[in-house]
């Protein structure tokens, strides 16, 4: 089997260096030919130098995608992959030594399955603040966490893999390009590019399977353990849903749509400002996420 590990990166050279260093520990089955493809998405830091340093220890390839945006980078990666299986991950993860081996084993045993996902364990730069620790079960999705006990059996629309850790047969992936209207561009918060593709695959009848042993650790920097990060994350989710709704549903008058969304956002903002003062974190964090979401839909 031929396998490509694909990473799209933008200006996170030091984290990418750790990711690639960890990949040197991967166990590679004898029957597997593999490579690592890094898509340099218009980086202005020393990403290229990092890739060059790892060429002696890893079967590296680097290609450039000058158009800003993760969806563009993902589609460029697909165009340059000719293996049987793509293992998607990010530039801020540490893969377990058995990560690749687990996906290869699952793909070989389950020829009827085209999509695979694995657990994502948070790797915190610092300890969670008490308010976030209390509200964590409600907002862990904002940190791309996929807990081990849940990652078993078939993949369903109710529990999807995240972009930091999933695999797909290349032949299928070519039929499902990523939507450039979705996904992060620079510091923008719009997301949902992988979710959109995976949901379309499942809706068309393609089968997905969790691989509990294909585990990664996902780095969560201290600046994400804040109220402003959560507001921005759910703001991006609101933007994403506004885009997908516009693609899927008949258009309503623009003025009415914006007025309705603005009213919801203003009410959510008011409720958050009240509960933030008088309620425990589980309550006011819920209102914070709603507030960000509705302002995102306005945008």
pLDDT tens sequence for the chain (299 residues): 999 999 999 999 999 999 999 999 999 999 999 999 999 999 999 999 999 999 999 999 999 999 999 999 999 999 999 999 999 999 999 999 999 999 999 999 999 999 999 999 999 999 999 999 999 999 999 999 998 777 889 999 999 999 999 999 999 999 999 999 888 787 667 778 999 999 999 999 999 999 999 999 999 999 999 999 999 999 999 988 888 777 666 566 577 777 888 898 999 999 999 999 999 999 999 999 999 999 998 87
- Dist CA 224 CA 232 (whole Å): 10
- Dist CA 201 CA 198 (whole Å): 5
Q: What is the pLDDT of residue 250?
A: 58
Q: Under the phi-then-psi rule, with left for phi > 0, alpha for psi from -120 to 50, and beta for the rest, what region is 156?
A: beta
- Dist CA 38 CA 81 (whole Å): 11
The CA-based dihedral angle spanning residues 42, 45, 49, 51, taken in that order and rounded to the nearest 10 degrees: -50
- Dist CA 21 CA 8 (whole Å): 16
| Secondary structure element (H or E) that encloses residue 234, with its range | helix 227-248
Place of tokens 């690592």: 36
* Cβ(181)–Cβ(243) below 8 Å: yes
Count of C-beta atoms within a 10 Å radius of residue 175: 11
pLDDT tens sequence across 6-22: 999 999 999 999 999 99
- Dist CA 30 CA 14 (whole Å): 31
pLDDT tens sequence across 58-89: 999 999 999 999 999 999 999 999 999 999 99
Q: So where are the chain's domains? A: 2-222, 227-298
Count of C-beta atoms within a 10 Å radius of residue 81: 20
Q: State residue 266 phi and psi, 5-degree precision.
A: -65, -40
| Secondary structure element (H or E) that encloses residue 8, with its range | strand 2-9
Q: What is the pLDDT of residue 252?
A: 61
CATH homologous superfamily of domain 2-222?
Answer: Spore Coat Polysaccharide Biosynthesis Protein SpsA; Chain A (3.90.550.10)
* Cβ(121)–Cβ(219) below 8 Å: no
Q: What is the pLDDT of residue 249?
A: 67
| Residue among 115, 96, 265, 218 nearest 175 (CA) | 115
Cβ-Cβ contacts under 8 Å for 29 (sequence gap 6 or more): 101, 104, 105
Count of C-beta atoms within a 10 Å radius of residue 142: 19
> β-strands 120-124, 216-220: how paired?
parallel
* Cβ(206)–Cβ(175) below 8 Å: no
Alpha helices in 28-120 (DSSP H): 47-53, 70-79, 99-109
For the chain, the C-alpha Rg in angstroms (whole number) is 20
Predicted structure pTM score: 0.91
**Bridge partners, residue 7, by sequence:** 38, 89
Q: What is the pLDDT of residue 253?
A: 55
């Amino acid at each position: 089997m031929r396998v490509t590990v694909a990473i799209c990166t933008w200006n996170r050279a030091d984290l990418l260096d750790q990711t690639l260093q960890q990949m040197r520990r991967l166990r590679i089955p004898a029957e597997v030919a593999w490579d690592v493809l890094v898509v340099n998405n218009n980086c202005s830091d020393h990403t290229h130098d990092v890739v060059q340093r790892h060429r002696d220890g890893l079967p590296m390839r680097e290609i450039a995608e000058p158009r800003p945006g993760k969806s563009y980078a993902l589609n460029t990666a697909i165009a340059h992959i000719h293996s049987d299986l793509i293992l998607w991950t990010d530039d801020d993860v540490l893969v377990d030594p058995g990560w690749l081996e687990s996906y290869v084993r699952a793909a070989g045993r389950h020829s009827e399955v085209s999509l695979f996902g694995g657990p994502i364990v948070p790797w915190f730069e610092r300890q969670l603040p008490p308010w976030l620790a209390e509200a964590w079960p409600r907002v862990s999705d904002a940190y791309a966490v996929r807990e081990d006990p849940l990652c078993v059996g078939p993949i369903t629309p109710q529990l999807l893999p995240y972009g930091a850790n999933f695999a797909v047969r290349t032949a299928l992936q070519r039929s499902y390009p990523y939507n450039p209207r979705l996904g992060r561009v620079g510091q923008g918060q719009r997301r949902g590019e992988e979710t959109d593709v995976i949901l379309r695959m499942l809706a068309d009848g393609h089968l997905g399977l969790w691989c509990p042993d294909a585990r990664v650790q996902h780095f969560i920097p201290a600046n994400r353990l804040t109220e402003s990060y959560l507001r921005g994350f759910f703001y991006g989710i609101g933007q994403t849903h506004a885009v997908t709704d516009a693609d899927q549903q008949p258009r309503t008058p623009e003025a009415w749509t914006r007025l309705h969304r603005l009213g919801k956002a203003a009410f959510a903002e008011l409720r958050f400002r009240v509960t933030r003062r008088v309620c425990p974190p589980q309550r006011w964090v819920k209102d914070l996420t709603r507030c960000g979401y509705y302002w995102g839909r306005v945008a």
